[in-house]
Amino acid sequence: MTSKRNRKFNLIVDCRPLSNAVAQTALGAGTEIMDNYDDCKKIFLNIDNIHVIRDSLNKVREVLKNGDITTNLYNKELLYKSNWLKHISTILTGVDILVKSMVLNNNHLLIHCSDGWDRTTQISSLVQICLDPYYRTIDGFVILIEKEWLSFGHRFNERCGHLQNETKFHDNIENLNSNQATQAFRQVTNHFKHKKSVKFVSPIFQQFLDCIYQLIRQYPNKFEYNERFLRRLVYHLYSCQYGTFLFDCERERKEHDVETKTRSVWDYFKSRKIEFSNPNYIKEDVNVKVNDNDGDDDQIIYPKVKDVKFWFQLFGKSDGELNYNPYGFENSGGEYVDSNLDSSSSNSAIVY
């Protein structure tokens, strides 16, 4: 007889906080009634919505713009109170739970949020990166973004505010000193300033890349692409120099003939592959089958949710300036949920 602990089941993953899902019932969004789903469990990952994430990055920006964060205790506290690292850790906690549920329990996952093109895409992509070393190669990463973000309709134009800001952001990162790099970042984050048109603008893809940055830090030999690859991708997300991230869906890109009228950002990266490659990368055989119920497989990586840091290179600061934390300010997203999903509650996930 199979014990309840080891029994396989389908896992319905709602990326939203439980309170948000309940509140949206009045709008027809709601959430699944589990009495209708045999052999299924549901988990809420408690990932906040686009408005919370936008406000969080705005708070980081304001702290970096307005004061010294190296010696000023108040500014350092404000930086951590932005909750940016907490949001990163919350996402990685959800990814860790789902990777373990698939590897250790052979669970099938159905992942959704409100619309399916923000939190759902983040979680689905990160789970695949952790499970499959192919997506940790440059070629694999390109395919992942094309299928999970572009083909499935992440609204790049709307989220990035491409048509809502007159500021032109030109890349000159190789020649920037620290102050100039900070100014460049400010130009990017101007997309998220408060204005009427900002309602649906949010750094969702940037947050996703920040999560990958954490994984590269934690597993420096597991990724073919390097930190600079991610940082340059953030820049080109907003630069509009290439057609890859223009418009909100495939239909719009086809209507505007993006494929023939613009260049792909991937051509740029592949033409300078050495520059964006990790010299410490240890290539893995992507054709080797992952062993079932073996959580020790070397090809699988598990996010270390307590080990998250500010992406100091992106903000034009030093590691010490942003991440030196002698005061013990909290930066974690919460506790783990047991990998067998028997736990009934957590600060970062709720299981039903």
Q: Is 311 annotated as a binding residue?
A: no
Instruction: Provide the greatest CA pair distance for the chain.
Output: 66
Model pLDDT, residue 189: 52
Q: Which residues contact 181 (CB under 8 A, 6 or more apart)?
A: 173, 316
Q: What's the pLDDT at 334?
A: 40
Q: Residues 6 or more apart from 235 whose CB is under 8 A from it?
A: 169, 171, 173, 184, 188
Given the structure tokens 């949206």, which residue do they identify?
A: 24
Is 124 within any annotated ligand binding site?
no
Residues of 149-174 as b/e, b for ≥16 C-beta within 10 angstroms?
A: bbebbbbbbbbbbbebbeeebeeeee
Q: Is residue 202 part of an annotated ligand binding site?
A: no
Per the annotation, does 119 bind a ligand? yes
pLDDT digits (tens, 9 = 90+) for 89-104: 999 999 999 999 999 9
Helix ranges (H only) for 67-137 are 73-81, 84-105, 119-131
- Catalytic annotation on 113? yes
Dihedrals φ, ψ of 212, to 5°? -65, -40
* pLDDT < 50 stretches in the chain: 1-4, 166-176, 178, 180-181, 191, 194-196, 332-347
> In the prediction, which pLDDT does 171 show?
42
- Sign of the alpha-carbon dihedral angle for 304, 310, 313, 317: negative
- Scanning 219-285, the segments in alpha helix (DSSP H) are 227-239, 250-255, 258-261, 265-271
In angstroms, the CA 248 to CA 279 distance is 35
Tokens 């100091």 found at: 312
Task: Tell me the per-residue pLDDT of 214-245, one tens digit each, with 9 for 90 and over.
Answer: 999 999 999 999 999 999 999 999 999 999 99
Choose the catalytic residue: 15, 40, 113, 130: 113
149 marked as binding residue: no
CA separation for the pair 104, 126 (Å, rounded) = 18
Reference 190, options 219, 153, 213, 160; nearest CA is 160
Phi and psi dihedrals of 170, rounded to 5? -105, 140
Q: What is the pLDDT of residue 67?
A: 74
118 labelled ligand-binding: yes
In this prediction the pTM is 0.84
Determine the pLDDT at residue 181. Answer: 47
pLDDT at 179: 54
User: Is 10:105 a contact under the CB 8 Å cutoff?
Assistant: no
Is 339 annotated in a binding site? The answer is: no
DSSP string, 203-216: -HHHHHHHHHHHHH
